[in-house]
């Protein structure tokens, strides 16, 4: 397996009884990349992350993280990664500083390095000055940064963040993403799941997942360019019933006060405009359009 890649998987599968949660995952994530993992609820994102972190045994397939074989040596993987679970594993009754010290001990940070690592994570995550605050009293945005600080304390080369921005306000989300970029610039690989498609724009590579399978993979620009077939238009119609019944329309999605409409044929834009009696504007797909289309195509293929 290649030395330039922080995360590799080949045919990774997880079954729970007869149900297949992850169905042959192939991953090649270079060191220093921000790798975004997107999918609807239940797509298999957390299951994949838990397998890669050595927390859940794969049914079959291979994987390595930071050069360690996940299947053969899950304990070895745990020591080399930072993992921020969906529910922050912080101790509410400890202060910010006590949590950082606790995780330093858990991750066996050597005593002589401890003070420098503590300073690094406090400064990196902007928590300097909050050391004495009780964790359970912190707003969610600060708790999130503390969870990140605790996941970073042992200098992992690979960070797994499972929906780190859930419930966090837009300003704090932006601060958090600046931090992710800084870590990536310094060489840390960040593997992150999110439901926010605007956040996916921050990733070098994005993987769309549905029902355990990959349905899209590439940089945000590559994904948008590949999906730009000239068949997407936007229209403002008061009642979408006419869109739903038009033979020219393949799919519609509400976007604010307008509709994004996938045409059966790019040449149908003009006739549709006449049919609707309103202007129809050709548009380039957003990442959200690409994601929805990829899921629709996968669903159709499975029928």
Interface ranges with ligand ATP (CB under 6 A) = 16, 21, 39, 41-47
Tell the smallest beta-carbon distance from residue 222 to ligand ATP (Å). Answer: 23
Residue 43 or residue 68: which is nearer to ligand ATP going by CB? 43
Residue 71 or residue 166: which is nearer to ligand ATP going by CB? 166
CB atoms under 10 Å from CB of 146, counted, come to 25
Tell the smallest beta-carbon distance from residue 79 to ligand ATP (Å). Answer: 24
Tell the smallest beta-carbon distance from residue 132 to ligand ATP (Å). Answer: 33
User: Is the Cα torsion angle 57, 61, 67, 73 positive or negative in sign?
Assistant: positive
Tell the smallest beta-carbon distance from residue 199 to ligand ATP (Å). Answer: 14
Residue 21 or residue 25: which is nearer to ligand ATP going by CB? 21
Residue 2 or residue 41: which is nearer to ligand ATP going by CB? 41
Tell the smallest beta-carbon distance from residue 279 to ligand ATP (Å). Answer: 37
Residue 61 or residue 127: which is nearer to ligand ATP going by CB? 61
């Amino acid at each position: 397996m290649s030395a330039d890649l922080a995360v590799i998987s080949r045919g990774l599968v997880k079954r729970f009884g007869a149900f297949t949660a992850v169905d042959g995952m192939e991953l090649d994530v270079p060191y220093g990349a921000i790798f975004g993992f997107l999918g609807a609820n239940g797509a298999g994102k957390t299951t994949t992350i838990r397998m890669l972190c050595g927390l859940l045994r794969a049914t079959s397939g291979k994987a390595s993280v930071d050069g360690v074989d996940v299947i053969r040596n899950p304990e070895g993987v745990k020591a080399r990664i930072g993992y921020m679970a969906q529910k922050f594993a912080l101790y509410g009754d400890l202060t910010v500083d006590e949590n950082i010290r606790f995780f330093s001990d858990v991750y066996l940070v050597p005593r002589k390095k401890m003070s420098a690592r503590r300073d690094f994570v406090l400064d990196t995550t902007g928590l300097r000055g909050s050391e004495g605050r009780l964790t359970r009293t912190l707003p969610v945005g600060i708790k999130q940064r503390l969870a990140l600080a605790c996941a970073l304390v042992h200098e992992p080369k690979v960070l797994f963040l499972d929906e780190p921005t859930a419930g966090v306000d837009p300003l704090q989300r932006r601060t958090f993403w600046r931090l992710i970029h800084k870590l990536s610039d310094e060489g840390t690989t960040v593997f992150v799941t999110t439901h926010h498609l605007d956040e996916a724009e921050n990733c070098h590579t994005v993987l769309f997942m549905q029902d355990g399978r990959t349905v899209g993979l590439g940089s945000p620009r590559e994904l948008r360019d590949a999906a730009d077939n000239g068949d997407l238009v936007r229209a403002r119609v008061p009642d979408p019933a006419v869109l739903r019944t038009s033979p020219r329309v393949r799919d519609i999605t509400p976007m604010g006060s307008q509709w994004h409409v996938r045409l059966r044929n790019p040449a149908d834009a003009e006739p549709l405009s006449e049919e609707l009696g309103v202007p129809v504007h050709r548009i380039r797909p957003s990442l959200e359009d690409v994601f929805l289309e990829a899921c629709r195509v996968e669903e159709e293929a499975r029928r």
